[in-house]
Structure 1
Amino acid sequence: MTLQRKLRFALCAVSITACATTFAQYGGTRTQQLDPVVEKIVKEANENSQLENLAFQLLDVVGPRLVGTPQMNKANDWAVKTFQSWGLEAEKQQFGEWRGWERGVSHIDMTSPRLKTLAGTQLAWSPSTKGKAIEGEVIVLPTFKDSADFVAWLPKVKGKYVMTSMYQPTGRPDHDWEKYARPESFEQMKKERDSLVQVYNGNISKTGYSANSIPGKLEEAGALGVLSSFWSREFGANKIFGARTSKVPSVDISLEDYGLLYRLAKNGIIPKVKIETSSKDLGTVPSFNTIAQIKGTELPNEYVILSAHLDSWEGGSGATDNGTGTLAMMEVARVLKAVFPNPKRTILIGLWGSEEQGLNGSRAFVLDNPEIIEKTQAVFNLDNGTGRVENINGSGFVHAYDFIGRWMQAVPNHITKDIKTTFPGSPGGGGSDHASFVAAGIPAFMLSSLSWGYFNNTWHTNLDTYDKLVFDDLRYNVILTAVMAYKAAQEDKLVDREQRVMPTGGGRGDSSWPAIRQPRRTGVGY
């Protein structure tokens, strides 16, 4: 993202002693005297943290939270019950409906030329084999001359499992090659991989269809199922998204086992696999947001919103996307209710549904609650992994430097010392739920976290599980968010919402303020 102007500040390194923070500045020392409420927030978050227990309940007991599944509904109910146990008002609010689906057991076995149980799972919303184990030969996509050649080949898929993903030349991530390989070996591998990508993409293009639409054509032609492998370029990590078939199973297979099948098929030793999936189609089911609040005393109809999406994909347990954001915002609510139960403004917690399909829950909330949106002071959003916050962008609001800077000054320096800020920044275009509010002109901010290998290791992968959480960093985020929410709630008046003038004139950086977009209130899958 290119910005015309960047203003950054970093508060200096500190060490905590009791309730005061001391740091070196200009050769001397100065003490940061914390607001008594901030002292209580720090103490409650550190000494009575519920993060580990919340994580266990959400990630291990409830599990992944795909929109339309019983687990998503269970997560909504669990969140409501948990908020209520802390004395908060809470409820589920329906915003739409989705195709209901429940994951079942997946068995994927190679039966020829030898026996081997393969590592893999059905994709979200995949059709089942209805309790049967169906065996068939495995074939790969051949090289096509053009779309007519593809159409002429299609009858050959009948009664077979078809591999649709690119063969990966290495199962080692790039950082492993960088550490151990000779530079010329690493470069040779990258050239080979780039060439395979180019050939694969060109072959798909010649079919006249996209990689997303080909599975449907294979299904129509009588294929038994679709085999894919979406490697995430880390050891053992595959991204698990949604099925593109409606009658036959779609399964993702680990890089290692997918490569085995591919090499066998390409070398004329036709492998066979037997697949059994027992997922259930549950028809159309309602989709919800979970909304909780700590009611304001002086200005109850003005709001500070704590934002995180509760839904996830299905590969792991949705730990860092976005279990971490959900857990942190729930813990912020618990801490504030315990130490500051009577804020001036209402503190509202929104745990959104169907973010993964296009910010549907938060977009619906914005459109369905104009009276709340009109009087929202600020929105704080967490949604990019387990790391402590390292960046805050002003989202294009001209005066964000003033009020964000003021609120951050109340946070203990050891929490903020490494946070970089960009003001006025640029409005988010749709990467997470804060964008739904920014589009409506509301000061909404993504609290962007350290990576911890997020995009390759856990983002939408089978490895996004409890063990990837870093609770020490999450406690930092709880303190930061709780203090900023407290200060935002206590402001004398609503902050200035003036928007920056977006660049124009024909350059590459030209843009406009994002428009409010309609949510998908009815969905069937991906």
Structure 2
Amino acid sequence: MKKTFYLPVLGLMLSTSLFAQDQKETVKNIVSEATTNSQLKNLAHELLDVVGPRLVGSPEMKNAHDWAVQKYADWGIPAENEQWGVWRGWDRGITHIDMVSPRSVSLEGMQLAWSPSTSSKGIEAEVVILPEAKDSISFQKTLNSVKGKFVLISMPQPTGRPDDNWEKWATPESFEKMKMEREAQNDAWNARIKTTGYSSRELPKILEKAGAAGIVTSNWSRGFGVNKIFSAYTEKIPMVDIALEDYGLLYRLAEYGDKPVIKVMAQSKDLGEVPTFNTIAQIKGSEKPEEYVILSAHFDSWDGAQGATDNGTGTLVMMEAMRILKKVYPNPKRTILVGHWGSEEQGLNGSRSFVKDHPEIVAGVQAVFNQDNGTGRVATISGNGFLNAYDYVGSWLAAVPDEVASIETNFPGIPGGGGSDYASFVAAGAPAFNLSSLSWDYWNYTWHTNRDTYDKIVWDDVQNNAILTAVLAYMASEDEDKTSRDKIVLPISKRTGEQMTWPEARDSTRRGGLDD
């Protein structure tokens, strides 16, 4: 009796002990490979310096997809570009913006994404401020004044110094005075826009119809030298964004009656309808190939700079994690799949398409790990409303070396609503977790700005994130149990007073920027 009772227990203890030893050794090897043979800087150079920013529909976006497939092939990892839709193709080209009167000076600025081009000779015209009117009827009568002119449609900022600089150096009274004056100016400008009868998005088209030569904006990001760069709303005339400092110069000259003149050369090309893709790579599972650990990062970016921290760093983390896993853990229990999603910036389109098109993969998801908010080391993870997330994510995190990550967790949390691609999976009921990073002034200085460049990357933090991701993927793959998908009962919303509901899975925009 004793022999038949104790031997299985002894065998279980030995098995558990051996797995613990294997786990410790694998984690050690992951850390060693990441720290002694890092490929992060090489990958960053190739992606950010050579390929460049990755606006959906641009040649650079397609180049990035092809580069990733080849890079994975070099590592012995099968990969492919999977088309999910089409988009309006556009090639940025070169922008030159110069003031030619009352003096000559080159201005810092660029055309906005999908802006119409100028002729090869460019456009030279006077700069005027958006006409002021008492109401929408009066505004219509002012539109003749914009014909043949570049029109300034953004509020001129009273200061180019961020608030933390004021707080450090100004007297409290001076700081408060500046904020009050800026708030009053902002209110006045919003009222000026409102009396036109149009939104700030509609105005460019109205001014275009009135015969304006071009539209000039300045979307300051509340930091030294940073503007946010998004898309144009015109169809035939150029729309450009100019740095706060130069925009203020033009505004003051126009306001004082000095009649500034600028010359804009914008050499963009409309490429018509082009295919858009996700890049998918995977290391096939050896025991449970139909269950998936998914590494997730969006591949596209806005193109005001290089897209280094949004989401170049997330892309680097996932690629480096896959490279490491292929080397030290080549035969995972479950399939480890990486998705480099297209057109996240326009509404999670790549990941939503994948979820819609691959229900069999979504059904087999063990866990999704997504990273998308800058270069900082991962600091927080939420359970996203999955009732038992603590049980499995907590055990996986326990294997991560303390020197790599000290992470604050929020279990069970509530489901994320759409800030990044993990939300596409959460909405479909698949356990997906966002690896949320420390700020490094992400929102002000690099999120969608003209300064989101290679030099802003913090390499130690990105390396730690690659180790963290690789360890989590390894642990999720090896877990004996399939993760639970049980959801919490959501609380009452403080905003609406009604019970919150789980987000609904949505299909993507499959024809972006194209007239049907």
TM-score bin (small chain): over 0.9
1:70-469 maps to which residues of 2 (within 5 A)?
A: 70-417=59-406, 419-469=407-457
Match of 1:383, as an amino acid? Answer: D
Match of 1:137, as an amino acid? Answer: E
* TM-score, normalising length: structure 2: 0.94
In structure 2, the residue corresponding to 1:414 is in which secondary structure? coil
What is the CA–CA distance in structure 1 between the aligned matches of 2:89 and 2:399, rounded to whole Å?
45
What is the CA–CA distance in structure 1 between the aligned matches of 2:226 and 2:493, rounded to whole Å?
44
Of residues 266-275 and 283-292 in structure 1, the stretch that sits farther from structure 2 once superposed is 266-275
What is the CA–CA distance in structure 1 between the aligned matches of 2:404 and 2:501, rounded to whole Å?
34
Aligned equivalent of 2:469? 481
Distance apart, 1:493 and its partner CA? 2.6
Distance apart, 1:416 and its partner CA? 2.8
- Residues 269-310 of structure 1, C-alpha deviation per residue, up to 9 Å, x if partnerless? 111111111111111100000000000001111100000000
In structure 2, the residue corresponding to 1:487 is in which secondary structure? helix
What is the CA–CA distance in structure 1 between the aligned matches of 2:494 and 2:304, rounded to whole Å?
43
- The alignment of Structure 1 onto Structure 2 pairs a total of residues equal to 495
Determine if contact 1:355/1:433 at 8 Å carries over to the other structure.
yes
Match of 2:227, as an amino acid? Answer: N
In structure 1, the residue corresponding to 2:57 is in which secondary structure? coil
In structure 1, the residue corresponding to 2:127 is in which secondary structure? strand
What is the CA–CA distance in structure 2 between the aligned matches of 1:297 and 1:331, rounded to whole Å?
21
User: Structure 1 residue aligned with 2:486, among 498, 521, 525?
Assistant: 498
Provide the alpha-carbon RMSD of the alignment.
1.5
Distance 1:141 1:447, change over 3 A: same
What is the CA–CA distance in structure 1 between the aligned matches of 2:134 and 2:146, rounded to whole Å?
18
In structure 2, the residue corresponding to 1:78 is in which secondary structure? helix
Match of 1:303, as an amino acid? Answer: Y
* Residue ranges of structure 2 left out of the alignment (5+ in a row): 1-20
Distance apart, 1:457 and its partner CA? 0.4
* TM-score, normalising length: structure 1: 0.92
Distance apart, 1:142 and its partner CA? 2.9
In structure 1, the residue corresponding to 2:232 is in which secondary structure? coil
User: Structure 1 residue aligned with 2:57, among 50, 57, 68?
Assistant: 68
Distance apart, 1:508 and its partner CA? 4.3
What is the CA–CA distance in structure 1 between the aligned matches of 2:56 and 2:120, rounded to whole Å?
24
Percent identity for Structure 1 against Structure 2: 61
In structure 1, the residue corresponding to 2:386 is in which secondary structure? coil
Aligned equivalent of 1:12? none
Distance apart, 1:506 and its partner CA? 7.5
User: Structure 1 residue aligned with 2:35, among 43, 46, 63?
Assistant: 46
Aligned equivalent of 2:460? 472
What is the CA–CA distance in structure 1 between the aligned matches of 2:66 and 2:250, rounded to whole Å?
43
Distance apart, 1:33 and its partner CA? 10
Determine if contact 2:130/2:153 at 8 Å carries over to the other structure.
yes
Determine if contact 2:295/2:370 at 8 Å carries over to the other structure.
yes
Distance apart, 1:34 and its partner CA? 6.3
What is the CA–CA distance in structure 2 between the aligned matches of 1:390 and 1:274, rounded to whole Å?
47
Distance apart, 1:492 and its partner CA? 1.5
Distance 1:146 1:228, change over 3 A: same
What is the CA–CA distance in structure 2 between the aligned matches of 1:521 and 1:33, rounded to whole Å?
45
What is the CA–CA distance in structure 2 between the aligned matches of 1:505 and 1:128, rounded to whole Å?
47
User: Structure 1 residue aligned with 2:502, among 489, 502, 513?
Assistant: 513
What is the CA–CA distance in structure 2 between the aligned matches of 1:415 and 1:440, rounded to whole Å?
31
Determine if contact 2:366/2:476 at 8 Å carries over to the other structure.
yes
Of residues 74-83 and 151-160 in structure 1, the stretch that sits farther from structure 2 once superposed is 151-160
What is the CA–CA distance in structure 2 between the aligned matches of 1:196 and 1:506, rounded to whole Å?
32
Determine if contact 1:294/1:341 at 8 Å carries over to the other structure.
yes
Distance apart, 1:507 and its partner CA? 6.0
Determine if contact 2:131/2:143 at 8 Å carries over to the other structure.
no
Aligned equivalent of 1:35? 24
In structure 2, the residue corresponding to 1:35 is in which secondary structure? helix
Of residues 33-42 and 131-140 in structure 1, the stretch that sits farther from structure 2 once superposed is 33-42
In structure 2, the residue corresponding to 1:273 is in which secondary structure? strand
What is the CA–CA distance in structure 1 between the aligned matches of 2:441 and 2:494, rounded to whole Å?
36
Match of 2:492, as an amino acid? Answer: T
Of residues 506-515 and 455-464 in structure 1, the stretch that sits farther from structure 2 once superposed is 506-515
What is the CA–CA distance in structure 1 between the aligned matches of 2:501 and 2:176, rounded to whole Å?
40
Distance apart, 1:82 and its partner CA? 0.3
Distance apart, 1:153 and its partner CA? 1.1
In structure 2, the residue corresponding to 1:413 is in which secondary structure? coil
In structure 1, the residue corresponding to 2:272 is in which secondary structure? strand
Determine if contact 1:407/1:488 at 8 Å carries over to the other structure.
yes
What is the CA–CA distance in structure 2 between the aligned matches of 1:471 and 1:386, rounded to whole Å?
8
Distance apart, 1:491 and its partner CA? 1.4
Determine if contact 2:253/2:259 at 8 Å carries over to the other structure.
yes
- Residues 247-272 of structure 1, C-alpha deviation per residue, up to 9 Å, x if partnerless? 00000000000000000111111111
- Residues 5-44 of structure 1, C-alpha deviation per residue, up to 9 Å, x if partnerless? xxxxxxxxxxxxxxxxxxxxxxxxxxx9961111110100
Distance 1:279 1:374, change over 3 A: same
